[in-house]
Amino acid sequence: MNEALRLECPHCGETFLLAFDTSEGSAEFTVDCEVCCRPMQLSVRVDDDGQIESAEVVEE
């Protein structure tokens, strides 16, 4: 199931939405800001019911 994550870029401070497929489980990956195009590390934790427990963005 896809859920929308609202992310805040650690570089420019702008927010944007990112679709995340919770059926894949927890994940860590690099995503580019849709505003300034700079990369950031995203860590998403998904519980056993397929719900997002947390999403953390870190400057890369």
What is the tally of structural domains in the chain? 1
pTM attached to this predicted model: 0.84
Whole-number pLDDT of residue 57: 94
Q: In terms of C-beta density within 10 A (0-12 exposed, 13-18 middle, 19 or more buried), how is residue 52 classed?
A: middle
Mean pLDDT to the nearest integer, 9-21: 95
Whole-number pLDDT of residue 23: 93
- Structural domain that includes position 41: 2-59
Residue 19 is inside which H or E element, if any? strand 15-21
Whole-number pLDDT of residue 55: 94
Whole-number pLDDT of residue 48: 93
Mean pLDDT to the nearest integer, 19-38: 95
pLDDT at 60 over 80: no
Beta bridge partners of 28: 43
